[in-house]
Structure 1
Amino acid sequence: MATGQHWTDREIALTVADYMKMLTLELAGQSYNKTAHRRALLEQLDGRSKGAVELKHQNISAVLRDLNCFWIPGYKPRGNYQEALAHYLEAWINTHPEFDRASQFAVEQPAFMPSGIELSKLLVDAPTPSNEVKETHPTYAVKRSPSKRDYVAQEARNSALGAAGELLVMEYEEFRLRSAGKKALADRIEHVSQSQGDGLGYDILSYEISGKERFLEVKTTAFAKETPFYASRNEVSFSEEFQEQFHLYRLFEFRKSPKLFSLPGAIGNHCSMDPVSFICKLR
């Protein structure tokens, strides 16, 4: 079969099953070999290329994103997926309760301030905006409502993870300012969510090199760089009112190898936001 032809039901089912086996291991904190999995999968498909399988993996990540589940880091979500893919993926989830158990385990795990982080390498570029066209499937409805859980929301409620992320950002900001020779400013950084409460619209008061105040809201995930996050109405409003000083600091892959990117200005400038839940998906 030529790689440009339509994926058969058999190929979709095989690819979904293999991806979800890897993801379940990922959620459980167990090791696996992506290359070995891909090699074994390719032997079962009808002449598909590595690139075609990579794209299908990205499509699966996009379906999982749309179900508010996590996905395998490195397989950036890519939309325009077949409706059949969403059906097969949901059917797999409904018949494999171990995935829900692994997801539940992953979001409830405590987290602590990591040690030995090379702070000079913590900051990375933010994800580039996606140009994908979002497909809608008016006849497709999620059918796993009895067991469906919003794992992104549950992780957002993991207070230990959030607190650990804020402490790492405090350490990073002190490093950033001290490295610029601004020890006096570094000494003035305040963890306002702890000292004044968490209703201010930001977590940490830091400073620019010039001495101008920098308001930091920290969002932490143990998962992929593009994982959606929740913002409160107050955080969104504050980011709009103080656009020139507000930064959303997004920590990702926190438990394995923490990295950080910054989204300056209003949160809505970088994300599409659900008007009811305020879940933010990077554009």
Structure 2
Amino acid sequence: MASGDWTDQQNDAIVADYFAMLADDEAGRPYSKAEHNRRLQAAIGRPRGAIEYKHQNISAVLKGLGEDWIPGYKPAFNFQGSLVDAVARWLATHPAWLAPDTRLSLAKGAPSRVREAPTLWIGPPPTLGNAPPPDELEQMQHIARRFDVAERDARNRALGRAGEERIVRHERSSLTAAGRNDLADRVRWVSEQDGDGAGYDIASFEPDGRPRLIEVKTTNGWERTPFHISRNELAVADERRREWCLVRLWNFARDPRAFELRPPLDAHVSLMPTSFQASFPS
């Protein structure tokens, strides 16, 4: 059996094997992790335990990329940069994997999606949780910045639209459960009906009738995956801070969960300008 640092060929082989299992997992098809491991031992000359741990490393890389990972391989960190490069190479040669229609169709094909309830699990934002930031946060943030995960999610219109639709259903279901069918009937999907530009996606209500303006940000990644927010959205959040909220929908492809952020947003997240308008002097 080989020892020492993994070669690019070994990394490429185990990354391809991982994505084969992940595709089966997301589609609800049965597969054997043990059989995959045995085939890899023969192909790359690494022992069973090393292969298991490298699969966990790949889960960690995917977590940093804001992507779904195999639940049975808990993310393990402090991996080599060459593994990140191997995952990036696989994704570059399989662009369909990140295509919105491909991933959403996989998600909808999984059995858990059929039984999906209209109400969501909504927990506290990471800034208000009792747990301290995870030790791997810096490594995850480095990967997210390197591959601009926030920009990728922002450009994924199919993912964004599916997330907004999910929150519309949640709002209507919650109001109905509170005995406010009259308000549930008046929930509006503003970005779908009127287009972008309002500074929020959904116009809903609190059970007591107060307006509730919701901006939805969706990712397949974990709760700390970065996201983009526009100057206009920030302005509306400031102008209508009693009514406006941001709903962060995460882990969307597998088990959607959410939390809410209320203005001022800079109390919860670090806001960093990512582009500038260039104009010619008069």
Mark yes or no: TM-score above 0.5: yes
Amino acid at match of 1:234: N
Matches within 5 A, 1:122-271: 122-125=120-123, 128=126, 130-131=133-134, 132-135=136-139, 153=151, 156-221=154-219, 223-226=220-223, 228-252=226-250, 259-266=256-263, 267-271=265-269
What one-letter code is carried by the residue in structure 2 that aligns with 1:134? E
Number of matched residues? 254
Q: Which residue of 2 is the match for residue 100 of structure 1?
A: 95
| 1:271 Cα offset (Å) | 4.1
In 1, distance between residues paired with 2:272 and 2:63?
17
Q: Is the 8 A contact 2:57 2:77 kept in 1?
A: no
Flag the 1:248–1:13 CA change in 2: closer, same or farther, 3 A.
same
* Higher RCO, Cα 8 Å, sep 6+: 2
Paired with 1:263 and 1:154, the residues of 2 have a C-alpha distance of 22
Q: 1:103 to 1:194 in 2, by over 3 A?
A: closer
Q: How has the CA–CA distance of structure 1 residues 257 and 20 changed in structure 2, closer, same or farther, with 3 Å as cutoff?
A: closer
Counterpart residue number, 2:130: none
Query: TM-score of the superposition, structure 1-length normalised?
Result: 0.64
Instruction: For residue 232 of structure 1, report the CA deviation from its aligned partner.
Output: 1.9
Match in the other structure for 2:60: 59
Is contact 1:73–1:225 with CA below 8 Å preserved after alignment?
no
Report the Cα distance in structure 2 between the residues aligned to 1:37 and 1:274, rounded to whole angstroms.
46
What secondary structure is seen at the aligned counterpart in 1 of 2:138?
coil
Taking the aligned partners of 1:240 and 1:128, their CA distance within structure 2 comes to 21
Matched, 1:18 2:10: no
Q: Which residue of 2 aligns with 1:281?
A: none
**How far apart are 1:202 and its partner, in Å?**
0.4
Q: TM-score, length-normalised on structure 2?
A: 0.64
Query: 3-state SS of the aligned residue for 1:185?
Result: helix
Find the residue that maps to 1:214 and give its secondary structure: strand
What is the CA deviation profile of residues 160-191 of structure 1, one whole-angstrom value per residue up to 9, with x for unaligned ones? Answer: 55444433322321221121122333233233
CA distance in 1, matches of 2:63, 2:90: 16
In structure 2, how many angstroms separate the alpha carbons of the residues matched to 1:270 and 1:78? 27
Of Structure 1 and Structure 2, which has the larger fraction of its residues in helix?
A: 2
How far, CA to CA, are the matches of 2:76 and 2:213 in structure 1? 32
Distance 1:12-1:252 versus aligned 2 partners, 3 A rule = same
Q: In structure 1, the residue corresponding to 2:121 is in which secondary structure? A: coil
Counterpart CA distance in 1 for 2:273 and 2:155 is 19
Q: Unpaired runs of 5+ in structure 2?
A: 128-132, 277-282
Residue 276 of structure 1: how far off its partner (Å): 0.9
Q: What is the CA–CA distance in structure 2 between the aligned matches of 1:134 and 1:119, rounded to whole Å?
A: 35
CA distance in 2, matches of 1:188, 1:176: 13
* Paired residue secondary structure (1:134): helix
* Amino acid of the structure 2 residue aligned with 1:19: Y
Unaligned runs of 5+ in 1: 143-147, 279-283
Distance 1:53 1:81, change over 3 A: closer
Instruction: Summarize deviations over 1:19-72 as a string: whole Å, max 9, x none.
Output: 34445x36995846373466447855346379844641333225544xxxx342
Cα distance in 2 between the residues matched to 1:158 and 1:21: 23
* Contact 1:58-1:78 at 8 Å conserved across structures: yes
Calculate percent identity across the aligned residue pairs: 30
CA distance in 2, matches of 1:32, 1:269: 44
The alignment's C-alpha RMSD in Å is 4.6
For 1:188, give the aligned amino acid. R
Mapping 1:61-80, distance limit 5 Å:
61-62=62-63, 64-65=65-66, 70-72=67-69, 74=71, 80=78
